[in-house]
Amino acid sequence: LDITISSDVPLGAGLSSSAALTCSVACAIDDEVGSELSPRDLAAVARDSENDYVGAPTGTMDQLAAMLCEADSALLLDCRDLTTRSIPFTIADAGLTLLLMDTNVRHSLVDSEYGARREDCAAAAADLGLRSLRDATAAQLVGLDDERLRRRAHHVVSEIARVEQVAAILDAGRPGDIGAQLTASHLSLRDDYEVSCTELDVTVDAALSAGALGARMVGGGFGGCALALCRADDAEAVLAKVRRAYSDEGWKPPTVYDPKPSPGAHRVS
């Protein structure tokens, strides 16, 4: 196969560029040779290409999102059994908007530290006698003697709870109310999982101080993008505050995107 790739997906920005590449190529090959693999099968192939060929210890969330997401929806994924469910996420109808702000910072330690976090989570689960932290409860975490592993596990367990809360809020048709969970997620990523960085923290803090309903880093951390949920009328003020914060730090301004919940990989022509 002779494949030409044209892309404007930012590399290393925490926007799942590797999954975008592998899933789109897998779909194109499947379409060309007529193997008729299911979207889930293609997601598995894409993950295997990263895990086995590249050696990147990725999970499967990015690939399943790239294959299964639907327009104007959020995808709820349970990593215990890989079941998924689409939830309406029509924020424009609620007078809201998402701001995706790329710090344009790429720290080299993201790959090694991601692997280290995976190892910490596996060790914490083993210490608790569990297959994975998906099966852990907050009460069980007090049994972890290693303070670092306890914090890593606390992030995972609390993040699962936040995801469930967000799903319930979206099911109830109140997308503006998920902001607190977004912010709590960032604080947990910063303090318990320790994958944030100064640039991401400044972005989140500036957005919140300007009236964003919630904000968090996205991706593997140590650079890349932060996402902010805002009232549409407040978006310009939020962006202005973030840009001022960057100017005060002597940084180049962030690159800003206007993300839209969109369908997964598919043939476009």
Which residues are designated catalytic? 62
Which parts of the chain are beta strand (E)? 73-78, 83-88, 96-106, 214-217, 223-231, 255-257
Q: What is the DSSP letter of 36?
A: -
The tokens for 196 are 């944030």
Query: Look-up: residue for tokens 């975490």?
Result: 141
Q: Give the number of other CB atoms < 10 A from CB of residue 25.
A: 18
Whether 257 and 224 have beta carbons less than 8 Å apart is answered as no
Alpha carbons 267 and 251: distance in angstroms, whole number: 39
| Cα distance between the two ends of the chain | 19
Supply angle C-alpha 66, 105, 20, rounded to 5: 15
The H-assigned helical ranges of 192-267 are: 198-209, 235-249
Whether 80 and 98 have beta carbons less than 8 Å apart is answered as no
Residue 177 one-letter amino acid? D
Query: Look-up: residue for tokens 């140590």?
Result: 222
